[in-house]
Structure 1
Amino acid sequence: MKQEIRDLFNERILTETAERYGIPRDQVHFLKDAENYVYEFKKDHRPYILRITHTIRRHPDYIMGELEWLNYLADRGLSVSRAVPSAKGNLVESIPADQGHFLAVAYEKAPGKTVGEEDWNETFFQTWGEYVGRMHALTKEYRLSHPAYKRQEWYEEDQLNLRKYVPSDQTRVFEKADQLMERIHQLPKSRDSYGLVHTDLHQGNLHWHEGQITAFDFDDIGYNWFMNDIAIIIYNVQWFPTVPYKDKAEFVRRFFTHFMIGYRRENDLDPWWYRHIPDFLRLRHMLIYGLFHQFMDLNALKEEEAEMLRQYRHDIEIETPVVRLDFTTIRER
């Protein structure tokens, strides 16, 4: 989180936010503060999640673009953490600060728990794929209610602008990044391949309960290719698997095979897109590299952090595959 946001947040903001939702301040319990302040509370014996951000980071209309799509999915039967109104009926509450405003949103808390080692198997992978396939099928019919609510396109992601954050002498990184962006810009877009998607549906952003997935944290939704939405999931599971693997390529092959079995139960995506997964994975690698430079103090790096950045830079400069796997050879069995 930006330090300027931390400097503006105080107890008065939190107390007033609680009042807007008709709950006592002492019933609001802190969970985390990464990109947003996140709390939990109960009302009428039901659990909710409270998210607070600042207008430095988000505009109210941009948040409404998230909430409208989220509740659209919920209204059509997809299990998501629906956004709920405040005591005055507002989906977004605006609380004045010394500078700008803090913006609060409440959500139903997802039932169940984080996926555990006992759940990390082919059945779960197929259910996950089926869930994402259903989300993609639904988004094909989605229409904005107001142009101001439009979310960003894939290339507008701030961290992809490496020249903004990465030292200017890394010319080889910029060259490879430009080439990758140009290749991806050439990909076709259609109703069946491109639309509003989650863009961060890793296993940490869903709960598993009685064989059903409920997704949450829709803060980063945007317009992207459906296969890139899937590739982001692949990137995360190979980087942070719930159960460690011995052979990364074999694990990703197994995961992707079963994920797509489930996916195709709900949505049809041409296997032609498999050939572009390596570039989508590189795009995510590049975005994470930009993210590290955005938030890390390059003058005070620990040795392991410096080594990680060196490895990322090396991978980008020589176009190292994120996973050494020929996805075009994989077909759903």
Structure 2
Amino acid sequence: MKKGGFSLKQEIRDLFHKGILSEAAKRHGVSVEQVRFVKDAENYVYEFERNQQPLILRITHTIRRNPNYIMGELEWLNYLADHGLTVSRAVPSMDGNLIEWIPAKEGRFLAIAYEKAPGKPIGKEDWNESFFQTWGAYVGRMHSLTKQYTLSNPAYKRQEWYEEEQLNLRKYVPEHQTQVMKKTEELMEKLHQLPKGKDSYGLVHADLHQGNFHWDKGKIITFDFDDIGYNWFMNDIAILLYNVQWFPTVPYEDREAFVRHFFTHFMTGYRKENDLDPWWYQYIPDFLRLRHMLLYGLFHQFFDLNDLKDEEANMLKQYRYEIENETPIVNLDFTAINV
């Protein structure tokens, strides 16, 4: 999940300049004057047109991502596109490369182009049971397709769920918070015992909230596959559940009632495309807590702990309390939901 205020590492900013952008644009067949800035959250992102086709240009540095790791993203993304899933496909440069390497003072910048997703962000007028079922069917289709996916090169393998950088709380959270570490490590040890069969575990998007797709004439077109990794299908769904609680397109009054309603319709759609054993429902609360812990690590990674704003300090205090006390993210018995 991308949070406002998180930005590129300063060492990447120090290496980036207009010449890098100019070279990236040139390698994709346009001039620097033809690219338009979009954002610089975790990568530099621009948009441009080539042969009247709208494209997105993403520029990152080897400090953040290595080329093989990115190829793991691009190969899976284009596999999904080749099998009929509506995604923003990666497109080659003028020399036919999915990744262009651009030398910098230190390391290299990596430039990748994608189709720009048509449509628009999901609106309040579309936020209903029919859309929830469409969303579920889309994720179900993605999970069904990933069961058949194999890497062309072992070097392209993406991270496993436990290799998420922000789950390494000992690296980011003050060492005196021993109870936070204990609860996190206990939960991760519990999850390590879960089965990883082909029908329940595989390469997933891991961040498929409504900010990462467009809605176009009744279809979802997904983009931003930067966080993909190996995970349980149910955890991929739980991450989505966590996100819609934080950022519902239409605000709700009763969290439990909303989550029950959303999950019921989402899974109705999902099960039309993929058969996931309802046995996994019992682990949704654990997966939601795991996401809470990951975000706690993420906040510590990006916040200036020596100069916290009041809002940031209060957020960290609340998260710490909830992690230490194993507070449920939502008070709901998912196993009682008959879908």
**Given the two structures, how large is their TM-score scaled by the length of structure 1?**
0.99
Q: How far has the Cα of 1:245 moved from its partner?
A: 0.2
Q: Does 1:155 align with 2:162?
A: yes
In the alignment, the residues of structure 1 paired with residue 210 and residue 163 of structure 2 have an alpha-carbon distance, to the nearest angstrom, of 25
Please name the residue that 2:5 is paired with: none
Within the candidate set 285, 292, 297, 1:285 is matched to 292
Partner residue, 1:328: 335
| Percent identical residues | 74
Quote the residue 1:176 is aligned against: 183
Counterparts of 1:1-333 in structure 2 under 5 Å? 1-332=8-339
Per-residue deviation, residues 141-193 of structure 1 (Å, max 9, x unmatched): 00000000000000000000000000000001001001110111111110000
Distance 1:50 1:330 in 2: 43
Counterpart-to-counterpart distance in 2, 1:82 and 1:107: 6
The structural deviation recorded for 1:44 is 1.1
CA distance in structure 1 between the partners assigned to 2:112 and 2:320 by the alignment: 37
Which amino acid in the other structure matches residue 53 of structure 1? T
- Return the alpha-carbon distance in structure 2 between the equivalents of residues 254 and 3 of structure 1: 43
| Larger mean Cα displacement after TM superposition, 224-233 or 36-45 | 36-45
For structure 1, the residue ranges without an aligned partner over 5 or more in a row are none
The 2-side partners of 1:55 and 1:238 are apart by 34
1:306 Cα offset (Å) = 0.2
Distance 1:141 1:33 in 2: 34
3-state secondary structure, aligned to 1:128: helix
Cα distance between partner residues in 2 of 1:184 and 1:35? 29
Runs of 4+ residues deviating >2 angstroms: none
| Alpha-carbon distance in 2 for matches of 1:331, 1:213 | 26
What is the rounded CA distance, in whole Å, between the counterparts of 1:229 and 1:55 in structure 2? 27
2: CA distance between counterparts of 1:102 and 1:184? 36
State the alpha-carbon separation in 2 of the partners of residues 108 and 201 from structure 1.
Answer: 18
State the Cα distance separating 1:276 from its structure 2 match: 0.1
Q: Paired residues, what number?
A: 332
| SS of corresponding position for 1:265 | coil
Between the aligned partners of 1:231 and 1:294, the Cα distance in structure 2 is 23
Structure 2: which amino acid aligns with 1:268?
D
CA deviation after TM superposition for structure 1 residue 46, in Å:
1.2
**For residues 267 and 185 of structure 2, what CA distance do their matches in structure 1 show?**
30
Unaligned runs of 5+ in 2: 1-7
Deviation at 1:304, TM superposition (A): 1.1
- Name the aligned partner's letter for residue 208 of structure 1: W
2:244 maps to amino acid:
V
